[in-house]
């Protein structure tokens, strides 16, 4: 296959490019800064560009016989609400509209998010047939991206959407914050009952497997890519503690109103002096939700997906990578 990967220098994008190249596919990697993209391969073509423009001139650099586009480009953290919609939603529309002028037939795979569906109701895992109600700005922007794809993609295309929950794996800077918190010995508990909150997860290697299966089988559907195992917040902390060989931990419970005030304060500081802290006001709404779980059974049945990385193994490979990079 000849595959375009947008957001190729991102966490999921780099892992996807590596796997596609390993399987012998020809990859066209869209990145904003080619000098920072370290991956090299004879079958890899690096294209400089972004999705944040109505007309994407970099499309001219793509081959006429492109088979698939996997759209991973997006933004997860921002202190500016409009940025979420400009990059995640309008950016998806820009890619679709620019590609449709060149390709009558194309397999388009959008990497969305469980946040676009919203938290699960009680202990029941979300499935592909449930009604969506995203509670965060990020989630609403990802849901809007899905709707834009459905509306703007030509009938001659096949389109698929992948919604992962919490993605964990080597090179992920987001989960690194939790590792560092455990390593410090002080674990902050955001709100009452946070220890018992349930989460679905997927190792980045299993997520890439889901994407690859969808590409190879040219599936046109919505899938949750999620390990069957769910974990509580406390189980996440305990597994990291065990693998860090940490002998003690202190839990610091804080009311949710504290985080609402803190995120608002950080947003105010951002207007004066921009910073890269991830605790944005939007994250407060995701912290407030009880459970974030989804069911990956459809991917197992229709795609033949096998989730090889349970939580223990996922934390193990992630920690090994962090240590190799001196991140922890």
Q: Which of 1-5, 21-25, 283-287 has the lowest mean pLDDT?
A: 283-287
Instruction: Tell me the C-alpha distance between 176 and 327, whole Å.
Output: 8
Are 37 and 9 in contact, with CB atoms under 8 Å apart? yes
pLDDT at 54 over 90: no
pLDDT tens-digit readout, 72-113: 999 888 888 889 999 999 999 999 999 999 999 999 999 999
pLDDT at 123 over 80: no
Show the DSSP H helices in the chain as ranges: 11-22, 81-84, 91-100, 137-152, 173-184, 204-217, 233-244, 256-272, 281-288, 297-303, 311-324
Nearest to 212 by CA among 22, 8, 53: 22
pLDDT at 18 over 80: yes
Q: Domain 2-168+202-226+294-307 sits in which CATH superfamily?
A: NAD(P)-binding Rossmann-like Domain (3.40.50.720)
Residue 320 CB neighbours (<10 A): 12
Confidence of residue 274 (pLDDT cuts 50, 70, 90): confident
Torsional sign, CA 268, 144, 71, 314 = positive
pLDDT tens-digit readout, 209-267: 999 999 999 999 999 999 999 999 999 999 999 999 999 999 999 888 888 888 888 88
Are 135 and 78 in contact, with CB atoms under 8 Å apart? no
pLDDT mean over 172-189: 93
- Tell how strand 2-6 and strand 68-71 pair up: parallel
Judged by DSSP in three states, 184 sits in helix
Query: In the prediction, which pLDDT does 3 show?
Result: 97
For all residues of the chain together, what is the average pLDDT? 93
- The DSSP annotation for 215-255 comes to HHHT--SEEE---S-EEEHHHHHHHHHHHHT----EEEEE-
Instruction: Tell me the C-alpha distance between 151 and 92, whole Å.
Output: 11
pLDDT at 10 over 90: yes
Query: In the prediction, which pLDDT does 318 show?
Result: 98
Query: In the prediction, which pLDDT does 68 show?
Result: 97
217 φ/ψ angles, rounded to the nearest 5 degrees? -90, -5
């Amino acid at each position: 296959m000849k595959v375009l990967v947008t957001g190729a220098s991102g966490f999921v994008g780099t892992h996807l490019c590596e796997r596609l190249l390993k399987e012998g596919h020809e990859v066209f990697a869209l990145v904003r800064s080619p000098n920072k993209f370290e991956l090299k391969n004879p079958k890899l073509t690096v294209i400089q560009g972004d999705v944040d423009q109505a007309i994407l001139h970099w499309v001219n650099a793509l081959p006429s016989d492109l088979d698939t586009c996997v759209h991973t480009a997006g933004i997860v953290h921002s202190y500016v609400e409009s940025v979420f919609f400009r990059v995640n939603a309008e950016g998806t529309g820009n890619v679709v509209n620019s590609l449709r002028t060149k390709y009558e037939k194309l397999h388009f795979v959008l990497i969305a998010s469980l946040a676009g569906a919203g938290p699960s109701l009680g202990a029941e895992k979300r499935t592909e047939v449930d009604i969506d109600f995203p509670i965060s700005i990020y989630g609403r922007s990802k849901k809007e991206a899905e709707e834009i794809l459905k509306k703007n993609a030509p009938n001659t295309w096949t389109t698929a959407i992948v919604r992962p929950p919490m993605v964990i794996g080597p090179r992920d800077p987001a989960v690194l914050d939790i590792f560092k918190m455990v390593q410090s010995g002080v674990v902050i508990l955001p709100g009452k009952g946070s220890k018992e909150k349930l989460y679905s997860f997927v190792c980045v290697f299993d997520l890439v497997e889901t994407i690859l299966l969808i590409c190879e089988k040219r599936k046109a559907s919505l899938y949750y890519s999620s390990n069957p195992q769910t974990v509580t917040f406390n189980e996440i902390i305990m597994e990291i503690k065990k693998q860090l060989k940490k002998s003690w931990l202190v839990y610091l419970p804080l009311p949710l109103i504290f985080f609402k005030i803190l995120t608002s304060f950080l947003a105010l500081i951002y207007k004066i002096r921009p910073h890269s802290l991830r605790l944005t006001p939007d994250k407060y709404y995701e912290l407030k939700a009880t459970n974030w779980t989804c069911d990956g059974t459809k991917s197992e049945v229709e795609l033949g997906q096998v989730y090889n990385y349970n939580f223990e193994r996922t934390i193990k490979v992630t920690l090994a990578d962090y240590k190799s990079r001196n991140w922890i």
